[in-house]
Amino acid sequence: MTSRVRATVHNRRTILQLGLSAAFAPLAPAIVRAQASDLPSGPIRVILPTLHGGQADTLGRLIGDRVGAAIERSFVMEPRAGAGGLIAGEYVARAAPDGNTLLFVTGGHTTLPGLYAKSIKFDAVKDFAFICQISESSFAIAVAPEHPVKSFAHLLELSKQDPGKITFSSTGAGSTQHLIGEVCQERFGVKWTHVPYPGGAGPVNDVIGGRVDMAINSMLTLAPLVNGGKLRALAVSSVERDPLLPDAPSFGEISPGFFVGTILGLAAPARTPRPMIERLNREIGKVVNTDAMRERLRGMANTAKGGTPEEFTETVAQYVARWTGVIEKLGIGR
């Protein structure tokens, strides 16, 4: 190849490269915009169904700080407590589907359709785009150390001998503790008497003091009291034994396949763009599944979950169906 031919070929290549660069240059901002479009445009408000300082607030901040650092967005916890989560749920259901407003989903969310059947103004499943389940947690059944009931099997035996004599406490009619107590009675074929309290420490303190037979409450509440000798655990509501109370049999052992618990996670208003849901799901999943976060959740009596938006949606739907059925049977909807 002569020098003139080589020069001609070189010039043509240069012109072609310049032409291609010019052709694709306008696309560069579009690519950046496409990447940014899977994220909300500004700070992300997480609407809490409880007050500051509770488990939802604590976990929301833990997750939000880490996810926020990864996507360069700030997460702001905003309590809208009241009516067991009804106020927070309605607020997010009506919010703009732009990814800037999320709901911190707790187990209480899944009881709303049953408890407020006559007044609820949103669908607890269809009006939300569920992003990612953060964790699940189980409950425990405990009695005072000196209580005559020696084991869960003994509890069932005595309950069948004298239906209604055994009492259990909760934080109110329709609370998760109450509903779990009702599900247990149906599952094990026994009859207990429900003693509701208006929240606070009363439901546990009166069991410690012997005024009520047993407490059904979260592992976060009961495990420290059991390990401190103030209560004695009869069972935990998980499929397998819980490391926090390893000596207590699980519902799965007592009745194979039986599990009752509660969930925590994040959701957006329905019609939030799918790319945003998927991006947030990926980022939350990364955080939830780190060893450090798993250990932190374990210390709060929670088991890390993660998973897809579809899996979280199905879990919420199953809990809604379960609790709605229990509430309707009890006739405590309002």
Same-domain status, 153 and 167: yes
Judge whether 160 lies within some domain.
yes
First to last CA, the chain: 91
Same-domain status, 318 and 250: no
Q: Select from 108, 113, 120 the least CA-distant residue to 171.
A: 108
**Where a domain ends, among 231, 254, 277?**
254
- What are 162-183's pLDDT values in tens digits? 999 999 999 999 999 999 999 9
Segment 15-36 shows an average pLDDT of 46
Judge whether 32 lies within some domain.
no
More confident residue, 141 or 54: 141
Cβ 280 vs Cβ 101: under 8 Å: no
Cβ 327 vs Cβ 333: under 8 Å: yes
pTM for this predicted structure:
0.85
In a 10 Å sphere around its CB, with 0-12 CB exposed, 13-18 middle and 19+ buried, how is residue 294 labelled? middle
- What are 228-279's pLDDT values in tens digits? 999 999 999 999 999 999 999 999 999 999 999 999 999 999 999 999 999 9
Residue 110 predicted with pLDDT over 50: yes
- What are 38-82's pLDDT values in tens digits? 898 899 999 999 999 888 999 999 999 999 999 999 999 999 999
Mean pLDDT of the chain: 90
CATH of residue 302's domain is 3.40.190.150
